[in-house]
Amino acid sequence: MPDRPPTLHDVAKHAAVSTATVSRVVNGGPVAEPTARVVRDAIRTLGYVPNPAARGLITGRSDVVGVLVPDLVGPLNAAIARGVEDVLEAHDKLATIMTDHRDEAREARRVATLVARRVDGLVLIGSHLDDAHLRDLVGDTPVVHVGAERPPGADGIPEVRIDNAAGIDAALGHLAALGHRDVAHLAGPRRDGAERRAAMHDLAPRHGLHLRAVVDTDFSEESGRAAGATLLAEGDATAVLCANDRVAAGLYAAARERGLSLPRDLSVVGFDDLPWSGYLDPPLTTVRQPGRALGRGAAARLFDPDAGGELAPVTPDLVPRGSTAPPPH
Amino acid sequence: MPDRPPTLHDVAKHAAVSTATVSRVVNGGPVAEPTARVVRDAIRTLGYVPNPAARGLITGRSDVVGVLVPDLVGPLNAAIARGVEDVLEAHDKLATIMTDHRDEAREARRVATLVARRVDGLVLIGSHLDDAHLRDLVGDTPVVHVGAERPPGADGIPEVRIDNAAGIDAALGHLAALGHRDVAHLAGPRRDGAERRAAMHDLAPRHGLHLRAVVDTDFSEESGRAAGATLLAEGDATAVLCANDRVAAGLYAAARERGLSLPRDLSVVGFDDLPWSGYLDPPLTTVRQPGRALGRGAAARLFDPDAGGELAPVTPDLVPRGSTAPPPH
DNA sequence: CTGTTAGCGCATTCAT
DNA sequence: ATGAATGCGCTAACAG
């Protein structure tokens, strides 16, 4: 067993050709078919497999791309990571995943580690790093952001996001079709929260809907409960569009405390479609974040040498469930 | 920008020493302190960072360990992966994560890919591969199983599992303390299911509990609902211990359909503690799977050259919440 | 189409 | 304690 794995050289000897020829059949260079056959046989019988370190040393590539994820427990991030892996697999590359970079310093350190490893590309999920710093760290390694938390980079680092306005639009259309006229919004923080809120203001009128109230949350369930209580005290909306599903769950609690029956007394729409959203009582109508598609899009940009800048946002879709119904009366 | 990254040689020149000396300060060889200082300065000013490919070519290591996960969306697997990463980070190694090996063939292919990359170790989560095949694939690369689905390997591949019996024991103790006497079990498939079921039979008597019924599920919510309906039709247990939380959610539905009020009419205990288990109505009392600890334990074995064979199982703990209460009357 | 020649960047003898 | 030399396994010119 301790016999060192076979090398290119071994194969060459076994096949009675030069190492260059073996290298060519391995990497698809110009080789006469009969020769190639012999070499392939030798490869098979010896069980030869290329040494990636040696190859990387000379090519400068590693066929590995680094993926930075805030955490894998959040199902959306996991889905994104999965989408990235889909594309990598198709390109015969491997994903090196690092998690839990809560602050900019940690994240910068991890990016540096990955770059030192000569990764072929970097996918940054929910990154805090601003573009200038990032550019500095990565040199000319291809990078792409997905769902970044950082300030909208004016710089040239490509970024994949979902089209929040399209999601809100779908939700509003659904509500309007049910006959609602008065809606409210439990808004969220940061870019996604801001975009969804702006879309509410812009798009509600186009669906013939009045936006009666907007209350802030921090995306947490508890803040959703509190904001929900505030909202329900005013009570002139028949439907509430929540910044995300966790907030919607909080609103459920607030509604319950108030003795409201969902969806009879109030329609609720979420955003994200978490794994448990369909298990709520009533099952939550929500806008689904296409995590895997996001990941796919991001990874694709790494290879695709086309444009930089903003990439086509991914469109989320509405998942109608039991928390929406025609308004009372 | 296109100036190739600095090499050992560059540093040596800059510090006016030999490459061997630089290598020694980088890797902690015997170097006089004054010399070391000069070299470290040169390293810093040049921004030198070792080329892992070159290093790996010589040492035969890659400082990367491969992690195979069925999927990252399942929170337990994500937690395990996280635990693995904890340990790797402490050892300055990177994790290469691959997901979605649904069948043995796919999985074997991925193991082969990773081994070809000369990973320093392999963590297999929920693997289907039997030990013999695996040994053959990995040669002498260290491997460890976590929560394997495969038949209990008689071979020498170490494995980390949770102590299912301990989890069941904790749940039974909780129920007994509440005053229950008659319990039922919604059982699950495979090793974990079997172990939990066996523990129910073995341990219930020791807590003075009668195991009145056991109905099978496939770990899914839907099967939990169906099995739950069957169970409730007999109706002589005041508490049900479920094979996992998804099944418990199904049981909630069945109980609701039957007009039962939880936990007044029936106590329910789950297993896993999924992220949403605390959000169910009522919040589910459950046995928490210590995913991160599992991952840590597994990764630790990779380095620790100690024993092979079975490893100390990780003990899960009970999370008491709102779905358990004293029995009716 | 195929073989020869050089290194890629580094760790490691073996000297000194 | 340090330096000079050697090769890890492979690909990329360049010849033939």
Helices then strands (H, E): number in chain A? 12, 11
| Beta strands A317-319 and A285-288, pairing class | antiparallel
Q: How confident is the model at residue B103 (pLDDT cuts 50, 70, 90)?
A: confident
Q: How confident is the model at residue B1 (pLDDT cuts 50, 70, 90)?
A: very low
Q: Output the pLDDT for position A310.
A: 57
For an interface test with B, which of A26, A97, A257 has the most B Cβ atoms less than 10 Å from its Cβ? A97
Residue type, A29: G
Q: Which residue of A has its CA nearest to B248?
A: A279
Q: How confident is the model at residue B154 (pLDDT cuts 50, 70, 90)?
A: low
One domain, residues A220 and A242 = yes
Q: How confident is the model at residue B221 (pLDDT cuts 50, 70, 90)?
A: very high
Nearest 10 degrees: CA dihedral of A242, A246, A250, A256?
90
Residues of A in contact with B50 (CB under 8 A): 116
- Residues A22-78 pLDDT 10s: 999 999 889 899 999 999 999 999 999 999 999 999 999 999 999 999 988 888 899
Kindly give the interhelix angle for B52-59 and A52-59, rounded to the nearest 10 degrees.
150
Say yes or no to pLDDT of A313 above 80.
no
Q: Is A81 a member of any domain?
A: yes
Least confident range from A1-10, A38-47, B201-210: namely: A1-10
Q: Output the pLDDT for position A307.
A: 54
Output the distance from B6 CA to C8 C1' rounded to whole Å. 13
Shortest CA gap B321–chain A (Å) = 17
Phi, psi of A102 (to 5 degrees): -75, -30
Taking any CB pair shorter than 8 Å as contact, residues of chain A touching chain B are 1, 49-54, 56-57, 62, 64, 71-73, 75, 78-79, 81-82, 85, 94-100, 113, 116-118, 139-140, 221, 249, 274-276, 279-281
Shortest CA gap A192–chain B (Å) = 22
Q: Output the pLDDT for position B198.
A: 97
Q: Is B3 a member of any domain?
A: no
Q: Output the pLDDT for position B102.
A: 81
**Residues A113, B97: C-beta atoms closer than 8 Å:** no
Question: The domain spanning residue B94 has which CATH number?
Answer: 3.40.50.2300
One domain, residues A114 and A229 = no
**Residues A75, B73: C-beta atoms closer than 8 Å:** yes
**Residues B50, A117: C-beta atoms closer than 8 Å:** no
Q: Is A187 a member of any domain?
A: yes
Q: Output the pLDDT for position B314.
A: 82
User: How many structural domains compose chain B?
Assistant: 3
Least confident range from A126-130, A321-325, B241-245, B323-327: namely: A126-130
Distances (CA, A) of A208 to A180, A232, A326: 9, 22, 15
Output the distance from A119 CA to D1 C1' rounded to whole Å. 36
Q: Which of A220-234, B99-113, B146-160, B265-279 has the highest mean pLDDT?
A: A220-234
Say yes or no to pLDDT of A306 above 70.
no
One domain, residues B85 and B42 = no
Domain boundary among B157, B187, B203: B157
Q: Is B295 a member of any domain?
A: no
| Angle CA B298–B304–B309, to nearest 5 | 65
Q: The domain containing residue A103 runs over which residues?
A: 64-157
Share of chain A above pLDDT 90, in %: 74
Domain boundary among A59, A80, A102: A59
Say yes or no to pLDDT of B271 above 50.
yes
**Residues A79, B99: C-beta atoms closer than 8 Å:** no
One domain, residues B16 and B100 = no
Q: Are B146 and B137 in contact (CB under 8 A)?
A: no
One domain, residues A107 and A27 = no
Residues of B in contact with A64 (CB under 8 A): 96
Position of tokens 């599920």? B217
What DSSP letter does each residue of B55-97 carry, written as one string? HHHHHS--SEEEEEES-SSSHHHHHHHHHHHHHHHHTT-EEEE
Segments in A205-288 forming alpha helices (H): 221-234, 245-257
Least confident range from A194-198, A292-296, B174-178: namely: A292-296
The Cα B124–Cα A43 span in angstroms is: 28
Say yes or no to pLDDT of B153 above 70.
no
Q: Which residue of B has its CA nearest to A49?
A: B116
One domain, residues A247 and A169 = yes
Shortest CA gap A59–chain B (Å) = 10
Q: Is A325 a member of any domain?
A: no
Q: How confident is the model at residue A152 (pLDDT cuts 50, 70, 90)?
A: low
Q: What is the mean pLDDT of residues B15-38?
A: 92
Output the distance from B53 CA to C8 C1' rounded to whole Å. 10
The nucleotides of chain D lying under 7 Å from a protein CB are 1-5, 7-13
Domain boundary among B104, B123, B157: B157
Strand C proximity: list residues 28-47 of A with CB under 7 Å: 29-32, 34-36
Position of tokens 């798009």? A203
Q: Are B111 and A79 in contact (CB under 8 A)?
A: no
Output the distance from A50 CA to D15 C1' rounded to whole Å. 26
Q: How confident is the model at residue A153 (pLDDT cuts 50, 70, 90)?
A: low
Q: Residue B228: which of B270, B283, B282 has the closest Cα?
A: B270
Q: Output the pLDDT for position B307.
A: 54
**Residues A116, B49: C-beta atoms closer than 8 Å:** yes
Q: How confident is the model at residue B101 (pLDDT cuts 50, 70, 90)?
A: confident
**Residues A279, B280: C-beta atoms closer than 8 Å:** yes
One domain, residues A95 and A28 = no
Shortest CA gap A124–chain B (Å) = 16
**Residues B71, A54: C-beta atoms closer than 8 Å:** no
Q: Is B310 a member of any domain?
A: no
Shortest CA gap A277–chain B (Å) = 9
Q: Are B154 and B131 in contact (CB under 8 A)?
A: yes
Position of tokens 């620790």? B304
Structure tokens at A261: 């029956």
Q: Is B324 a member of any domain?
A: no
Q: Which pairs with CB-CB distance under 8 Å and at least 24 residues apart come from A107-116?
A: A107/A68, A108/A133, A108/A137, A110/A68, A111/A66, A111/A68, A111/A137, A111/A138, A112/A137, A113/B94, A114/A66, A114/A68, A115/A66, A115/A139, A115/A141, A116/B49, A116/B50, A116/B52
- Residues A195-252 pLDDT 10s: 999 999 999 999 999 999 999 999 999 999 999 999 999 878 999 999 999 999 999 9
Q: Output the pLDDT for position A103.
A: 84
Residues of B in contact with A95 (CB under 8 A): 96-98
The Cα A56–Cα A71 span in angstroms is: 30
The Cα B37–Cα B29 span in angstroms is: 14
**Residues B53, A49: C-beta atoms closer than 8 Å:** no
The Cα A289–Cα A319 span in angstroms is: 10
Q: What is the mean pLDDT of residues B294-300?
A: 92
Q: How confident is the model at residue B311 (pLDDT cuts 50, 70, 90)?
A: low
One domain, residues B245 and B278 = yes
For an interface test with A, which of B94, B114, B261, B272 has the most A Cβ atoms less than 10 Å from its Cβ? B94
Question: The domain spanning residue B21 has which CATH number?
Answer: 1.10.260.40
Output the distance from B40 CA to C14 C1' rounded to whole Å. 26
Q: Which of A47-56, A275-284, B125-134, B269-278 has the highest mean pLDDT?
A: A47-56
One domain, residues A23 and A109 = no
Q: Which residue of B has its CA nearest to A96?
A: B96
Question: Mean pLDDT over all residues of chain B?
Answer: 91
Residues of B in contact with A249 (CB under 8 A): 279
**Residues A75, B79: C-beta atoms closer than 8 Å:** no
Question: Mean pLDDT over all residues of chain A?
Answer: 91
One domain, residues B177 and B128 = no
Q: Which of A24-33, A110-119, A179-188, A273-282 has the highest mean pLDDT?
A: A179-188
Q: Output the pLDDT for position A1.
A: 47
Output the distance from A283 CA to D5 C1' rounded to whole Å. 73
Shortest CA gap B49–chain A (Å) = 6
Q: What is the mean pLDDT of residues A124-138?
A: 90
Taking any CB pair shorter than 8 Å as contact, residues of chain B touching chain A are 1-2, 49-54, 56-57, 62, 64, 71-73, 75, 78-79, 81-82, 85, 94-100, 113, 116-118, 139-140, 221, 249, 274-276, 279-281
Q: Is A298 a member of any domain?
A: no
The nucleotides of chain C lying under 7 Å from a protein CB are 1-13
Structure tokens at B6: 């600095």
One domain, residues B187 and B247 = yes
Q: Output the pLDDT for position B128.
A: 86
Report the DSSP beta bridge partners of residue A187.
Answer: A216
For an interface test with A, which of B57, B87, B120, B247 has the most A Cβ atoms less than 10 Å from its Cβ? B57
Q: Which residue of B has its CA nearest to A4?
A: B60
One domain, residues A199 and A185 = yes
Say yes or no to pLDDT of A150 above 50.
yes
Q: Output the pLDDT for position B73.
A: 82
Q: How confident is the model at residue A325 (pLDDT cuts 50, 70, 90)?
A: very high
Share of chain A above pLDDT 70, in %: 95
